[in-house]
Amino acid sequence: MAVESVDQQEASANPVRQKRPWLTPQRRMTIAGYAFLLPNIIGFVLFSAVPVFGVVALSFLKWDVLTPPEFISLQNYEKLFLRDPIFRKALVNTTYYVVLTVPSLITLGVALALLVNQKLKGIGVFRTIYFMPIVGLLVAEALLWAWLYDADFGLINSVLRAVGLKPVPWLGSTDWAMPSVAIMSMWRSAGYYMVIFLAGLQGIPSELYEVASIDGAGRWRQFIHITIPMLTPVIFLSIVIAMINTFQVFTSAWVLTKGGPYYATTTIVMRIYTSAFEDFKMGYASATALVLFAIVVTMTLIQSRMQRKWVHYE
């Protein structure tokens, strides 16, 4: 009885504590936040996390879809690195494509952004024209470029013949096939990077250019000492995006060349596709996909470490 009377006295002395509900406004906001995030979390688990773990598991199996899977440990990786010349060729081709495309996309993006970053009447039309290829259907655009590259009836070779130059076997030559794919990809994606760099240019304070003009700096010196340093965060972001995208090149090369001639345009993703859906080697394709993932992650981490030396943040 004495204990109960003490508890009653404490409760009567602190009525707020007694009547405080469990579902406070703060907890309601927390629950509401998780409720809004729940569909995205479910989608991520079902369509990203589970497939990733499935690919990891499949990479240690031999499975052709029709027969039960067989555990073969690291044999898929052993074959990938030691007994698959097509994968080594695809790795070289993909690296070559990345080296061709990424610097060109960054240069074209900066150049187009500087070109359309003018206060001129109707400049928005030109921005739209440069950006339009990225919103088109990639397969349709690749078919268009296949006609442009045609050795006999293509527009490019027709122009070369008209000016007295020798036609080029764009897609039929091992020397020109991969550069041809890279040219098409640069034409398609340059407008996308133009928009990114245009946003970066418009974020540079105009006072910096005014002070530089007063000090006698010309356009070139302003570009070197103001524009480029202020754009380095955007350049870093664009390099990372471009590198991730170019390592995954597939559609344009597949439509234009099917990986030929003589595997000259076979890429890593193309090797994954043929292994999985033509040879039905799901385990081997999964191992190849994981190697590609490791390459992309490694290159991204290297870029993140290197940015400390050349990226300037305000």
What is the DSSP track for 291-304?
HHHHHHHHHHHHHH
**Position 47 pLDDT exceeds 60:** yes
* Ranges in the chain annotated CATH 1.10.3720.10: 75-310
**Assigned architecture for domain 75-310:** Orthogonal Bundle (1.10)
Map 58-85 to HEC letters: HCCEECCCCCCCEECCCHHHHHHHHCCH
Mean pLDDT across 203-210: 90
Kindly compute the dihedral angle of the four CA atoms of residues 88, 94, 97, 103, in this order, to the nearest 10 degrees. -120
Buried b (16+ CB within 10 A) or exposed e, 267-279: bbbbbbbbbbeee
The fraction of the chain above a pLDDT of 90, given in percent, is 77
Mean pLDDT across 7-24: 57
* Confidence label for 2 from pLDDT (cuts 50, 70 and 90): very low
Alpha carbons 108 and 256: distance in angstroms, whole number: 23
**Position 5 pLDDT exceeds 80:** no
The per-residue pLDDT for range 95-154, each reduced to its tens digit, is: 999 999 999 999 999 999 999 998 888 888 989 999 999 998 999 999 999 999 998 889
The per-residue pLDDT for range 220-238, each reduced to its tens digit, is: 999 999 999 999 999 999 9
Alpha carbons 178 and 183: distance in angstroms, whole number: 9
| 165 secondary structure, DSSP code | P
Do 284 and 275 meet the contact criterion of CB atoms below 8 Å apart? yes
The neighbour count for residue 209, using CB atoms within 10 Å, is 16
Residue 170: name the closest of 162, 182, 179 by CA. Answer: 179
**Residue 14: what pLDDT?**
53
* Confidence label for 20 from pLDDT (cuts 50, 70 and 90): low
The per-residue pLDDT for range 301-314, each reduced to its tens digit, is: 999 999 988 998 86
Do 100 and 185 meet the contact criterion of CB atoms below 8 Å apart? no
